[in-house]
Amino acid sequence: MMRMMIVFLFVFLAGCQNETTARKVDIYNGSGDMIGTAAFSEGKDGVNIKVKVTGLKPGPHGIHIHEIPSCKGPDFKSAGNHLNPEGKKHGLMNQDGAHLGDLPNIQADGSGKADADLTVSGATMKEGKKSLLNKAGSSIVITEDPDDGMTEPSGDSGQRIACGELNVEKNKKGKSPSDPTDIKEKKQGE
Ligand code: ZN
């Protein structure tokens, strides 16, 4: 019991370190237009994400954290697979799952707007195996279709239609550019 309390105290103290664990990420569609944001923050049970996007097809869409902080449209394959540091299977309904990056679907209303509060259970913005900022970082990707919660490798969720980079390097340098034309010019120069 004492040991347990010491562990709790240690975790508590570690949590008090003055690290920046809140990040806001811009989300772009396949044409390079900024369609919204995802605000990441360290929560009690994982990483909380406040997603606000527009311009989606009305209805449910899959949304996942991917392993590479790279959003090259229009297919966003550059983002890699779902973030999966523990080698699990895909799907929140899969008994051998889920990937760390698996999230419940978001719902776009009749005007194509989605506003959702999500939690990446067990993940952290701090250091660790289950950090969203391991290596170079990660990305958040929205898909055309909803995730069915079990089909490998990505829940039969269709094309990737929007993406935002949670980039360790960019965040070190400061804010990412908020003007979409800024991004386009940079991409052309690559
Ligand atoms: Zn998955």
Summarize pLDDT for 150-182 with one digit per residue, the tens: 999 999 999 999 999 998 876 454 444 444 444
When pLDDT is cut at 50, 70 and 90, the band that residue 189 belongs to is very low
**Full residue range of the structural domain in which residue 96 is found:** 20-188
Is residue 2 one of the residues assigned to a domain?
no
Is residue 181 one of the residues assigned to a domain?
yes
102 CA → ligand 1 middle, Å: 5
Is residue 8 one of the residues assigned to a domain?
no
186 CA → ligand 1 middle, Å: 30
**pLDDT at residue 168 in the model:** 87
176 CA → ligand 1 middle, Å: 27
* SS3 readout for the chain: CHHHHHHHHHHHHHHCCCCCCCEEEEEEECCCCEEEEEEEEECCCEEEEEEEECCCCCEEECEEEECCCCCCCCCCHHHCCECCCCCCECCCCCCCECCCCECCCEEECCCCCEEEEEEEECCECCCCCCECCCCCEEEEEEECCCCCCCCCCCCCCCCEEEEEEEEHHHHHHCCCCCCHHHHHHHHHCC
Is residue 4 one of the residues assigned to a domain?
no
95 CA → ligand 1 middle, Å: 13
87 CA → ligand 1 middle, Å: 11
Give the count of beta carbons closer than 10 Å to the beta carbon of residue 11. 9
Provide the domain count of the chain: 1
> What average pLDDT does the segment 8-33 reach?
74
**What's the rounded Cα separation, in Å, for the pair 164 and 69?**
8
79 CA → ligand 1 middle, Å: 13
**pLDDT at residue 138 in the model:** 97
> What average pLDDT does the segment 95-104 reach?
97
Is residue 14 one of the residues assigned to a domain?
no
Is residue 172 one of the residues assigned to a domain?
yes
98 CA → ligand 1 middle, Å: 6
Is residue 5 one of the residues assigned to a domain?
no
**pLDDT at residue 185 in the model:** 45
21 CA → ligand 1 middle, Å: 24
Q: Contact, 119 vs 43, CB < 8 A?
A: yes
Is the confidence at residue 21, as pLDDT, over 80? yes
Q: What is the pLDDT of residues 108-143, one digit of tens each?
A: 999 999 999 999 999 999 999 999 999 899 999 999
**What's the rounded Cα separation, in Å, for the pair 124 and 48?**
9
Is residue 7 one of the residues assigned to a domain?
no
Look up the CATH number of the domain holding residue 61: 2.60.40.200
51 CA → ligand 1 middle, Å: 18
122 CA → ligand 1 middle, Å: 15
Query: 40: which 2 tokens?
Result: 């990441």
Q: Contact, 87 vs 80, CB < 8 A?
A: no
